[in-house]
A = this chain, B = another copy of it.
Amino acid sequence: MRDIKGIPAKVKNDLEGIETALRENLNPHLDLIRETAGHILFSGGKRLRPLLTVLSARLCGYTGNDDKNFSVIFEYLHAASLLHDDIVDGAAFRRGKPVAHSIWGSTTAVLVGDFLLARSLSLAVKTQSMKVIAVIAEITEQMSRGELHQLVKKGDADLSEAEYMEIIRCKTAVLISAACRVGALIAGVGEQEELALSEYGLNMGIAFQMADDLLDYTADSKTLGKEVGADLKEGKLTLPVIYSLKAADPETRVRMEDIIKNKNFSVQSFETLLNMLKSHGGIEYTEQKAAAHISSAKTALSIFNNSKTKEIMGHIADYALKRKM
């Protein structure tokens, strides 16, 4: 594999343009919005989603100047969703920093999340494209459905792989898919390119969430920026666990469920579970599934001629698999 750490250097100008657009389009009016939205927006996010919009538009031959402004729709939507999800999850840290609601309170986090969602809509309207607006409305609905679906299934040891796939598609993948698709729409190309970029983004988003879910079992807490085992403590069953529960003999399954259901599990219990996930193939299965989706993501780009942009988008797919962006 090529040096994927080199990606930021290859898109330096794009990232700078996105940073400027993120600040200029925020239009906060109130200090409280500036501070709270700034805390979540300017805290070391990798700008994966807006970058994908800009690259997708370029891959479709776009040479105009609106791509960066419209790309921030997806960073605002992402930030809005993080603000609300952190409340839902009762999370304490994100990217190694205290979450917004622990600093400003849940009420501010709810309202600033609403504000960022509204800003992303206002920007979508500025595209004057009914297709773009329809995409934004659709994914906003899917994202809230996905989060609610996850909430309903909290702690449910019978969660199926199909339900897990539906949850991660809605809560993570549709946003990344839309970021790519809107790049095609901004460029004004045909449905074939629009569909290909949707597929690229959707598959990458699925792999990305799987890789993120794996981190909860494989990272150390410093790399992760939050506590290891946090998903499980919140009652979130992810693919490594779902697969292993199904693969285990009844006796082992009972032991696994005992650990999962006790949310204050000890470090020792967590390590016991981790060994079970490894021995029953849950970690490996998830890694393979994620890799297959990355492969599908890259295949979806095959309709485009080779170019530097296409190469970078291939590297981003590889990178999404390796670490959380």
Which residues on A are within 8 Å of B, measured CB to CB?
Answer: 29-33, 84, 87-88, 106-108, 110-112, 114-115, 117-119, 121-122, 124-125, 128, 130, 133-134, 136-138, 140-141, 143-145, 147-149, 151-152
- Set of chain B residues within 8 Å of A138, measured between Cβ atoms: 122
- Set of chain B residues within 8 Å of A119, measured between Cβ atoms: 141
Q: Is the CB of A87 within 8 A of B110?
A: yes
Most buried by B among A125, A134, A148: A148
Known A-B contacts A110-B110, A133-B125; the reply to A30 vs B118 at CB < 8 A is no
The one of B33, B111, B115, B144 that contacts A88, using a Cβ cutoff of 8 Å: B111
Q: Is the CB of A107 within 8 A of B134?
A: no
CA of A242 to CA of B125, assembled, Å:
38
**Nearest-Cβ distance from residue A81 to partner chain B, whole angstroms:** 8
- Chain B: CB-nearest residue to A135: B125
Q: Is the CB of A145 within 8 A of B106?
A: no
Known A-B contacts A110-B84, A114-B144, A140-B117; the reply to A152 vs B32 at CB < 8 A is yes
**Nearest-Cβ distance from residue A302 to partner chain B, whole angstroms:** 32
Q: Is the CB of A148 within 8 A of B115?
A: yes
- Set of chain B residues within 8 Å of A87, measured between Cβ atoms: 106-107, 110
Can you list 5 A-B pairs with a CB-CB distance of less than 8 A? A87-B106, A107-B151, A111-B147, A118-B137, A124-B137
- Chain B: CB-nearest residue to A115: B144
**Nearest-Cβ distance from residue A26 to partner chain B, whole angstroms:** 12
- Chain B: CB-nearest residue to A89: B107
Most buried by B among A106, A115, A121: A121
- Set of chain B residues within 8 Å of A137, measured between Cβ atoms: 118, 121-122, 124-125
Q: Is the CB of A30 within 8 A of B111?
A: no
Q: Please tell me how many copies of the chain the complex holds.
A: 2
Known A88-B111, A107-B151; further 11 A-B contacts with Cβ < 8 A:
A31-B152, A33-B145, A84-B111, A108-B148, A108-B151, A111-B147, A114-B144, A118-B143, A121-B121, A121-B140, A122-B138
- Chain B: CB-nearest residue to A136: B121
**Nearest-Cβ distance from residue A322 to partner chain B, whole angstroms:** 31
- Set of chain B residues within 8 Å of A111, measured between Cβ atoms: 84, 88, 144, 147-148, 151
- Set of chain B residues within 8 Å of A147, measured between Cβ atoms: 111, 114
Q: Is the CB of A151 within 8 A of B29?
A: no
- Set of chain B residues within 8 Å of A145, measured between Cβ atoms: 29-30, 33, 115
- Chain B: CB-nearest residue to A122: B137
Q: Is the CB of B125 within 8 A of A141?
A: no
**Nearest-Cβ distance from residue A70 to partner chain B, whole angstroms:** 14
- Chain B: CB-nearest residue to A146: B111
- Set of chain B residues within 8 Å of A32, measured between Cβ atoms: 148, 151-152
Known A-B contacts A107-B87, A130-B130, A148-B30; the reply to A141 vs B122 at CB < 8 A is yes
CA of A118 to CA of B77, assembled, Å:
12
- Set of chain B residues within 8 Å of A110, measured between Cβ atoms: 84, 87-88, 110
Task: Pick the 5 closest A-B CB pairs, nearest first.
Answer: A118-B141, A121-B137, A114-B144, A115-B144, A118-B140
**Nearest-Cβ distance from residue A31 to partner chain B, whole angstroms:** 8
